[in-house]
Amino acid sequence: MFLNEATKLRAETIIKGLEKRNMHGVFCATKEDALKQALSYIKEGSSVSWGGSMSVSEIGLMDALKEGNYHLIDRSVAKNFDEQREIFSKAVLSDYFLMSSNAITLDGELINIDGTGNRVACLSYGPKHVIMIVGMNKVVNDVEDGIKRVRNFASPPNTLRLGLKTPCSMTGRCGDCYGDTCICSQIVVTRRQSAMMKDRVKVILVGESLGY
């Protein structure tokens, strides 16, 4: 009981931090509540795209969208890099972009590391709305801790999931690599959103462990 209460208090602290950074936050205790909250944001008939995210899938959001009345922009159907770029150009102009955050600080800063940059690009600018599904297991004290978390605890299982041969996939810790299979190309810290885009980014904090 006390752990659950502490988690809720921690989420409230993060939400206050998001608000002063022109982002919107909400806490959902369970994956089921998070799914309902996410769907309440997305209008039927709208265009929806997403970046690679285990968290989005784990709450059942992808399945719900595929069964619903939405225009899905899915880059995974691309046969080559040129087709990926064409689909990405549509994702940039989508109504909603779905993703998680590799880490989030107690003060509401978002830390994300990307391989090609498509995910962090859409977070920074483009889609009308960005909906983030973030498990409370990704909360860190500050940006420095967030970068360490991503490189040493999130990247190794992601490279294993993708079948990539990198130092972290073999040792379980960051090797600061520069190889062709490296997934740590872009490091983006979202300190705030412009006042012109207030509440464009909506962060659903989930009181369960999600993703890596």
Strands 139-140 and 103-105: parallel
CA atoms within a 13 Å half-sphere pointing along the CA-CB vector of 176: 1
Residue 141 included in any domain: yes
Overall number of domains in the chain: 1
> Phi and psi of 65, rounded to 5°?
-70, -40
Domain containing residue 82: 1-206
| pLDDT for the residue 168 | 94
Q: Is residue 172 part of a domain?
A: yes
Instruction: Tell me, yes or no, whether 84 lies in a domain.
Output: yes
Q: Convert the pLDDT of each residue in 138-197 to its tens digit.
A: 999 999 999 999 999 999 999 999 899 999 999 999 999 999 999 999 999 999 999 999
Token pair, residue 143, equals: 């940006």
How big is the chain by its Cα radius of gyration, in Å? Answer: 17
1 domain residue, yes or no: yes
Please tell me the predicted confidence (pLDDT) of residue 116: 87
Tell me if 106 is assigned to some domain.
yes
The pLDDT value recorded for residue 119 is 93
* Residues in the chain where the model's pLDDT stays below 70: 1
Instruction: Establish how many alpha carbons lie within 13 A of residue 114's alpha carbon, considering only the half-sphere containing its beta carbon.
Output: 21
- Is residue 212 situated within a structural domain? no
CA distance 119 to 16: 25
Residue 93 in any domain: the answer is yes
Residue 211 is assigned to a structural domain of this protein: no
Exposure letters 148-172 (e unless 16+ CB within 10 A, then b): ebbbebbbbebbeeeebebbbbeee
Residue 101 sits in a domain whose CATH number is 3.40.50.10420
